[in-house]
């Protein structure tokens, strides 16, 4: 995954005031068991390691309905983060995260939601 980590650093921020909060959290999605998740001050970015095309995907916090972390059965030592887009998109589930990491990412997404938006 070193190539993906380098990719995160060369992605230009959406504006000069954007800052990177978390870089290179390994996770898994239905589309790729080897995914790298990053959180900026305005969006989630994820890079699919084994995809040929459409490798980098993103979701702005303002376009997010809610983000919910939960522990995975049976041992509850790993967590998943479920992110629901606002406009007709399918829910994204990022699995195989540490519980503290999933909770921290969900907290950043909730903090970026507009006032009055559902914050499950």
Distance between CA atoms of residues 88 and 39, nearest Å: 22
Per-residue pLDDT in tens (0 to 9) along the chain, 120 residues: 444 444 444 445 556 665 555 557 889 998 888 899 988 888 898 988 877 777 888 999 999 999 999 999 888 899 999 999 998 788 999 999 999 999 999 998 998 888 776 555
What's the residue count for the chain? 120
pLDDT for 15 equals 60
What is the DSSP secondary-structure string of the chain?
-HHHHHHHHHSPPSSTT--EEEEEEEEB-SS-SSEEEEEESSEEEEEETT-SS--EEEEEGGGEEEEEEEEPTTT--SEEEEEEESSSPPPEEEEEE-HHHHHHHHHHHHHHSPTTS---
CATH topology classification for 2-10+19-112: PH-domain like (2.30.29)
pTM for the model stands at: 0.76
Question: Could you tell me the residue ranges of all domains in the chain?
Answer: 2-10+19-112
Sheet (strand 92-97) strand order: 64-71, 79-85, 92-97
43 and 14 Cβ atoms separated by less than 8 Å: yes
pLDDT for 13 equals 54
Distance between CA atoms of residues 80 and 45, nearest Å: 16
């Amino acid at each position: 995954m070193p190539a993906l980590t380098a990719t995160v650093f060369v992605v230009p921020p959406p504006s000069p005031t954007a800052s990177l909060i978390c870089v290179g959290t390994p996770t898994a999605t239905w589309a790729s068991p080897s995914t790298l998740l990053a959180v900026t001050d305005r969006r989630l970015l994820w890079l699919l390691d084994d995809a040929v095309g459409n490798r980098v995907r993103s979701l702005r916090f303002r376009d997010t309905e809610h983000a919910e972390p939960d522990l995975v059965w049976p041992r509850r030592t790993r967590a998943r983060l479920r992110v629901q887009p606002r406009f007709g998109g399918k829910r994204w589930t990022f699995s195989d995260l540490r519980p503290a990491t999933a909770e921290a990412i969900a907290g950043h997404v909730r903090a970026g939601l507009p006032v009055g938006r559902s914050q499950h």
